[in-house]
Structure 1
Amino acid sequence: MNIKAKTNAISWAFIAVAVIMICAFYFYPMIQALIMSFQSGTGTNLSFVGIDNYTRLLTDSTFIAALKNTFLYLIVQVPIMIVLALFISVLLNDKDLKLKGFFRTAIFLPAVTSLVAYSVIFKYLFGTDGLINLMLLKLNLIAAPIQWITDPFWAKITIIIAITWRWTGYNMIFYLSALQNIDGSIYEAARIDGASSITQFTRITVPLLKPIILFTSITSTIGTLQLFDEVMNITKGGPGNATMTLSQYIYNLSFKYTPDFGYAATVSYAIVILIVIFSILQFKLAGDKNG
């Protein structure tokens, strides 16, 4: 065996290990979950039921409630977070701004905190006797404590605030990186032509950041459709099912209710279908020819 063939063999050996691991821990579970979605039964005592699980979704009131909640978080929180992250990144990209490193770190820091830890902190902050209500009462903005956790409307608002606080800084980093790669002469030429800051933002910044905006929109959509930790630790899906998400419903089907792994797999593939649909829509709306 010559040196080139030996080198190729070693290279393929390294690649083979990675491929085997990916297949074993990624593709095999996906295929097994798909097969399981056509089965039903208690625990591991499953039997083939065809598409009954998928038709069951259409009449499952809990699934429909979880779907509505997840969709609400998606259409409300994701646009707010994307716009906020973009606005903050533009502000922090200003060369004349002092303490930029501090502000960037402070805003990004929530993204690296423990999901469980920050969710528990939010639960106490937004409790009936929590710091948020105490501050609002002190400022005479409210006459009585807001039931952030136990009222269906305010519980949803609490979840939206929590996930926005955590993930805005994460998306901001992508925009900052992209902004620093834009040639400053473009803005200089625009200023010479009399373009205002708003015009520069809408005509230069946003179009040049379009690929990054599309990327963050898709990843944020995927993350929101899989939302679990915040809801589980702050409201536990309550009151009632007012804040339950699809991921929490999968957990309940698998570990809280009488275990029905087949139907849980079906709900998980419902999320997969939604992710594919929303990703295609976002590509089409962005005008991406490869979408």
Structure 2
Amino acid sequence: MKGVQSILFSQKAAPYIFILPFIISLSFFWVYPMISTIIMSFQDIGTGYSEFIGLANYEKLLGDSVFHTAVKNSVLYTIFTIIILIPLPMLCAFLLNSKNVVAKRTYKSIIYLPALVSVVVSGILFRYMFSEMDSGLMNQILNFFGIDSTQWLKNWGTGMFALLLLATWRWMGVNTLYFEAGLSSIDKVLYESAEVDGANAWQKFWHITLPLLKPTRIYVTTISIYGGMAMFLESYMIYGGNSSPKNIGLTIVGYLYRRGIEKNDLGYASAVGLVLLIVALAISMVYLWSSGMFKKEDK
């Protein structure tokens, strides 16, 4: 008993005891599933049997046109969300940080409210908004300007627009608060010194605000890459299921769900999941490398 107590109250053992719950949860919920997925990706798994088939699942992926469509949709969705949800929230945060804006807390609360709405509720709401019937909100707007109603969710461009509008509505406020927090950490003395030197608003933004917001930009972009590549539920709810016309709303996660859950092909779904992980990691690592995150700082 004394030996156990001496270990528990030892200063050397204390750090390991404190991180033990994290290590256990990481091993159980990440390491073990990852190893299992890697093994399953080399197998043909059905009801009550599993057979090792080598690289057959990955070879099948190379010629799978539906999978290629899912990859294209996910990558383009990720690119578009980054283009929209990085500069616009940064601009909103810059405006909120202005001295001329009153009731800042009220504005922050309002723009953050969409993030509190469930994805399921948001998806159903946008499905009705983009309904192909004349009663749909978007078609009512078109009809008001004398434009005929359109089948929003049956065309790739308008369907992607619906998904991007949903993403913008839900995450604009969250990213704005990230950038607003980054702006708040910038020392105001830098702006005062720049004003003394005669710098205008654009020069202060370009030479002070933008460089010092780099850590925030990198963080927001990185989580946006993950969120874009992992998008599934938004498309599922907008299209009322995982089967969109001509797979225009199909994502990599949606295809994983289709093969693994709907068709019970867990081996092939595991291969799809690993490819998703590799693609997301590759995009993130390339971005972090291009941002200079892996460069050694000068001493």
* TM-score normalised over the length of structure 1: 0.92
Distance 1:61 1:275 in 2: 20
**1:7 maps to 2:9:** yes
AA aligned opposite 2:259: L
Distance 2:8 2:81 in 1: 53
Give the structure 1 partner of residue 82 of structure 2. Answer: 78
The answer to whether the 8 A contact 2:45-2:265 is kept is: yes
AA aligned opposite 1:80: I
**1:90 maps to 2:94:** yes
Could you tell me how far 1:146 is from its partner in structure 2?
2.6
AA aligned opposite 2:50: L
The answer to whether the 8 A contact 1:43-1:261 is kept is: no
Could you tell me how far 1:219 is from its partner in structure 2?
0.7
Distance 1:190 1:146 in 2: 52
After superposition, give the CA deviation of every residue in 1:131-168 in whole Å (9 maximum; x if it has no partner): 22213322x1x511132212222111111111121112
Distance of aligned partners of 1:282 and 1:288 in 2 relative to their CA distance in 1, 3 Å threshold? same
**1:118 maps to 2:100:** no
Larger mean CA deviation between 16-25 and 199-208 belongs to 16-25
The answer to whether the 8 A contact 1:90-1:176 is kept is: yes
Match of 1:254 among 232, 255, 260: 260
Alignment of 1:169-208 (within 5 A): 169-208=173-212
Larger mean CA deviation between 275-284 and 56-65 belongs to 275-284
Match of 2:66 among 62, 66, 77: 62
Could you tell me how far 1:116 is from its partner in structure 2?
0.7
RMSD: 2.0
Match of 1:281 among 279, 283, 286: 286
Larger mean CA deviation between 66-75 and 233-242 belongs to 233-242
Distance 1:192 1:281 in 2: 39
Distance 2:47 2:91 in 1: 49
Distance 1:189 1:49 in 2: 67
After superposition, give the CA deviation of every residue in 1:9-35 in whole Å (9 maximum; x if it has no partner): 566445333322321122111111111
Distance 2:79 2:292 in 1: 20
**1:243 maps to 2:249:** yes
The answer to whether the 8 A contact 2:81-2:224 is kept is: no
Distance 1:62 1:185 in 2: 55
Give the structure 2 partner of residue 168 of structure 1. Answer: 172
Distance 1:15 1:74 in 2: 34
**1:233 maps to 2:215:** no
Could you tell me how far 1:63 is from its partner in structure 2?
0.2
Give the structure 1 partner of residue 223 of structure 2. Answer: 219
SS in 2 for 1:41: strand
Distance of aligned partners of 1:230 and 1:196 in 2 relative to their CA distance in 1, 3 Å threshold? same
How many residue pairs align between the two structures? 288
After superposition, give the CA deviation of every residue in 1:225-245 in whole Å (9 maximum; x if it has no partner): 000011111024522211210
Distance 1:12 1:269 in 2: 31
Could you tell me how far 1:47 is from its partner in structure 2?
1.0
AA aligned opposite 2:271: T
After superposition, give the CA deviation of every residue in 1:223-266 in whole Å (9 maximum; x if it has no partner): 1000001111102452221121000001111222x310011011
Distance of aligned partners of 1:182 and 1:228 in 2 relative to their CA distance in 1, 3 Å threshold? same
Distance 2:224 2:47 in 1: 33
Match of 2:112 among 100, 108, 121: 108
Distance of aligned partners of 1:156 and 1:43 in 2 relative to their CA distance in 1, 3 Å threshold? farther
**1:130 maps to 2:136:** yes
AA aligned opposite 1:45: Y
Give the structure 2 partner of residue 23 of structure 1. Answer: 27
* TM-score normalised over the length of structure 2: 0.90
Distance of aligned partners of 1:155 and 1:6 in 2 relative to their CA distance in 1, 3 Å threshold? closer
Distance of aligned partners of 1:146 and 1:194 in 2 relative to their CA distance in 1, 3 Å threshold? farther
Distance of aligned partners of 1:21 and 1:76 in 2 relative to their CA distance in 1, 3 Å threshold? closer
Percent identical residues = 32
The answer to whether the 8 A contact 2:232-2:253 is kept is: yes
Match of 2:148 among 141, 144, 147: 144
Distance of aligned partners of 1:114 and 1:15 in 2 relative to their CA distance in 1, 3 Å threshold? same
Give the structure 1 partner of residue 277 of structure 2. Answer: 272
AA aligned opposite 2:276: I
Distance of aligned partners of 1:15 and 1:189 in 2 relative to their CA distance in 1, 3 Å threshold? closer
SS in 2 for 1:240: helix
Larger mean CA deviation between 116-125 and 22-31 belongs to 22-31
